[in-house]
Amino acid sequence: MSKIYQDYFYDVNGFDTNDGGYKPLVRPKVDPRPLRIPELLKPDQETATDIYYTVCAQSGETAILPGEKTKTWGYNDTINGKTIVFPVEKRIHVTLQNRLPELTTFHWHGLHVTGPEIDGGCHAPVYPGEDKKIEFTLNQPASTNWLHAHPCPATAEQIYHGLATMVYLTDQHQTQLNLPQTYGVDDLPIILQDRTFHEHNQLDYRADYDPDGTLGNTALINGTVNAYFDVTAPKVRLRFLNGANRREWRLHFDNDLPFKQIAGDNSLLPHPIEMTKLMLTCAERAEVVVDFSQFKPGDEVNLYTDQTVILTFRIKDFTDTQETTVAPELLTIEKPKVDPATPVRKITMDGMDEAVMMNHKKFKMDRIDAKQPVGLTQYWDIVNTNGRRGGMIHPFHCHGMSFLVISRNGKDPYPNELGYKDTVAVNPSETVRILVRFDLVGLFMYHCHILEHEDGGMMAQIETFIPGQPRKHYDLMTMDKLMKAFAEERGIAQDQLWLPGMDSYHKMHMEM
Ligand SMILES: [Cu+2]
């Protein structure tokens, strides 16, 4: 624990700042405003064994900039959404409501729930005006996850409108650790996104669309620009989520103030990692604890990505006196054994711009690309086939399970990726080996989490099964069926329809 890591670990050559289409962030010239802390979603009902929620996808208007409000979408809110808390010990029941003008899906990113229906990928549309009920029990550790839209090929556009919110899993182990855990006081959700505002303060996704990942010029933190937070506790836990379409966040504080990363995507880390810099690629989460005790009331500590201030911590009297600690041991993780006879699954992430593919194919909704028995532990080698020069970092994500990062080009993983993860970023020309085991029968998507890459076809799906049992039948949707529905909902002919992934298929002369 004595070492303080001082670098971003990743290959500088692959950073998004090298992209031809890179848009630097500009700090908006508006008065600082308090960081928006989403309300906690109230359960409809809770018993000793069960908890019930209603999650509603809705449209609304949000005051983001001075002047006109911005038209946005959210879950039980006008932008992003209320924070959802699932205790892993209980049976969870959720009513999904779609009050948007078009179909959407509700994807539980990071949750071990079965696909394709409950998981909420592209095969599980909820149509406008429809209510759908799902229920599940979780068997995984406390962690910071998220809910987002995932319809093909319009994931990027719907998330850009605001459909992304935090989902916390809680368990007894984590509660007993005495980490900062007072929501909104010393335990904060931090959703990192970027948007460009056009005339009348509106978003224009199509105008800003980039097949290599859409960037905005303004940082939006929980839907707030130029945000500050008043610090009233000496130690503050920040739960970062990279909810951006494409942007990588390279986070650091004034004067390289060190902080401790305590958790990654799907669990606590075995031990806290002390660092001054943290890079998050799309969909990744990191929980960190920052110790402000050396500061006095009136001081300010800025959080940056690269050279841009994105959030200011204003130090107040430490009136929140709840003692918290970061223990040196956080979670015991046992690496399951792999039978040497089990073949290694190889997955390639290929191309850039419209040419993106996975294992040299574009995604097809009614094609199952791989199969794996439930309970089998298998190595997957995730290969980024982009060139070392001019290539980009692709964040690989798989639904329905958590994995462990085993190696990067045969070398040790980064010190802050030793917990359970569902998203791992792969440098250009790198092979990342992960250890994968599914515990649920189902059909699960895996893909690059740059949103325009997944819509553009850098995606595939895997079926899990119990050997010897009859195979489940899945009624798979097709892209055509979804696009027909989108066109109808928008009141246009299908040949007038434009959705983010379509150009990538058309330019490559590939059928959707
Ligand atoms: Cu990608």
Task: Please tell me what DSSP assigns to residue 487.
Answer: H
Distance CA 472, CA 476 (A): 12
Dihedral angle of Cα 100, 103, 104, 105, to the nearest 10 degrees? 130
Q: What is the DSSP secondary-structure string of 403-424?
A: EEEEEETTBPPPTT--S-BSEE
Could you tell me the distance, in angstroms and rounded to a whole number, from the CA of residue 502 to the centre of ligand 1? 16
Q: Evaluate whether residue 236 is within a structural domain.
A: yes
pLDDT given at position 321: 76
Q: Would you state the pLDDT for residue 485?
A: 95
Judge whether 59 lies within some domain. Answer: no
Distance 448 CA to ligand 1 centre (A): 5
- The strand pairing partners of 228, in sequence order, are 34, 312
- In the reported structure, the alpha carbon of residue 393 is separated from the centroid of ligand 1 by a whole-number distance in angstroms of 7
Ligand 1 centroid to 459 CA: how many Å?
Answer: 9
Rg (CA), the chain: 22
44-to-41, 54, 89, 131 alpha-carbon distances in Å: 9, 7, 18, 15
353 alpha carbon – ligand 1 mean position (Å): 9
Residue 186 resides in a domain: yes
The one-letter amino acid code at 307 reads Q
Q: Which domain, by its residues, includes 232?
A: 4-30+178-315
pLDDT at 320: 84
Task: Kindly report the number of other CB atoms within 10 A of residue 12's CB atom.
Answer: 10
Q: How far does the centroid of ligand 1 lie from the alpha carbon of residue 6, in Å?
A: 26
> Is there a domain that residue 413 lies in?
no
CA of 53 to the centre of ligand 1 (A): 34
In the reported structure, the alpha carbon of residue 458 is separated from the centroid of ligand 1 by a whole-number distance in angstroms of 7
Q: What is the pLDDT along the chain (512 residues), one digit of tens a residue?
A: 479 999 999 999 999 999 999 999 999 999 999 999 999 999 999 999 999 999 999 999 999 999 999 999 999 999 999 999 999 999 999 999 999 999 999 999 999 999 999 999 999 999 999 999 999 999 999 999 999 999 999 999 999 999 999 999 999 999 999 999 999 999 999 999 999 999 999 999 999 999 999 999 999 999 999 999 999 999 999 999 999 999 999 999 999 999 999 999 999 999 999 999 999 999 999 999 999 999 999 999 999 999 999 999 999 999 987 889 999 999 999 999 999 999 999 999 999 999 999 999 999 999 999 999 999 999 999 999 999 989 999 999 999 999 999 999 999 999 999 999 999 999 999 999 999 999 999 999 999 999 999 999 999 999 999 999 998 999 899 999 999 999 999 999 999 999 999 989 998 888 88
Residue 502's H or E segment, with its range, is helix 502-507
Q: 408 C-alpha vs ligand 1 centroid, how far in Å?
A: 18
Instruction: Give residue 51 CA to ligand 1 midpoint distance, Å.
Output: 37
- How many Cβ atoms sit within 10 Å of the Cβ of residue 297? 11
The predicted pLDDT at position 100 comes to 98
pLDDT value for 510: 87
Distance from chain centroid for Cα 236: 22
For residue 203, what is the domain's CATH number? Answer: 2.60.40.420
Cα 325 to ligand 1 centre (Å): 38
- The end-to-end CA distance of the chain, in Å, is 50
Q: Ligand 1 centre and the CA of 165: distance in Å? A: 22
Q: Is residue 52 part of a domain?
A: no
Distance in Å, CA 449 to ligand 1 centroid: 6
Residue 71 CA to ligand 1 centre (angstroms)? 28
| 409 occurs within a structural domain | no
Q: Give me the number of domains the chain comprises.
A: 1
d(CA 288, CA 141): 17
User: How much distance in Å is there from the Cα of 391 to the middle of ligand 1?
Assistant: 10
Is residue 360 a contact partner of residue 348, using CB atoms and an 8 Å limit? yes
How far is the centre of ligand 1, averaged over its atoms, from the C-alpha of 116 (Å)?
22
Going from the Cα of 460 to the center of ligand 1, the distance in angstroms, rounded, reads: 13
Measure Cα distances from 150 to 98, 218, 388, 477 in Å.
13, 24, 31, 13
Would you say residue 363 lies in a domain?
no
Q: How far is the CA of 366 from the centre of ligand 1 (A)?
A: 22
Report the separation in Å between the CA atom of 249 and the middle of ligand 1, taken as the mean of its atom positions: 16
- Domain annotation covers residue 11: yes
Expressed in angstroms and rounded, the spacing between residue 102 Cα and the centre of ligand 1 is 26
Measured distance CA(35)–CA(509) in Å, rounded: 45
